[in-house]
Amino acid sequence: MTASRGPGPASSLVGMRILVVEDEMMVAMLLEDMLIDLGCRVIKAGRVEKAVQFVAGTEIDGAILDVNVAGESVYPVASALQARGIPFIFSSGYGAGGLAPEYRDRPTLSKPFRQEELAPMLAAAMEGARH
């Protein structure tokens, strides 16, 4: 696959720096491949502490957060992103119902998902943050 550069939601993702917080190596690699295909630059963190450090000290345009990262809740990362006004979406095997109540309004990809589901949801989150 190649990066989508024509009209459509995926074209708005080209060049975006996306933080991926995911502890399962195969899922992280698959997600990285999907994002690269969409023209994104990927920053990966497999632990909550590392992700919080990235949010504090790295230029990030958006993020995809696994809800449970190596047995830890990803909410400290979500809170740090929210404080900086950086859009994010969750990915979870439990869907939005598995989120803490304060985050249930956030876009959530249910695992497993395909690039065709990821692209419009991420693009909408990024676009919503610009308004």
For 27-40, how does the pLDDT look when each residue is reduced to its tens digit (9 = 90+)? 999 999 999 999 99
The arithmetic mean of pLDDT across residues 78-86, rounded, is 97
The arithmetic mean of pLDDT across residues 54-60, rounded, is 97
Question: Residue 82: pLDDT above 50?
Answer: yes
Amino acid code (one letter) for 127: E
The arithmetic mean of pLDDT across residues 1-5, rounded, is 43
Look at the block and give the residue holding tokens 């993020």: 63
Question: Residue 2: pLDDT above 50?
Answer: no
For the chain, list the domains and their CATH numbers: 19-96 (3.40.50.2300)
Q: What is the pLDDT of residue 5?
A: 43
Give the closest residue to 51 by CA, choosing from 23, 13, 16, 24.
23
Q: What is the pLDDT of residue 9?
A: 56
Percent of the chain with pLDDT over 90: 79
Look at the block and give the residue holding tokens 């497999």: 46
Question: Residue 13: pLDDT above 60?
Answer: yes
CB contact at 8 A, 75 and 98: no
Q: What is the pLDDT of residue 8?
A: 55
Alpha-carbon gap, residue 88 to 1, rounded angstroms: 24
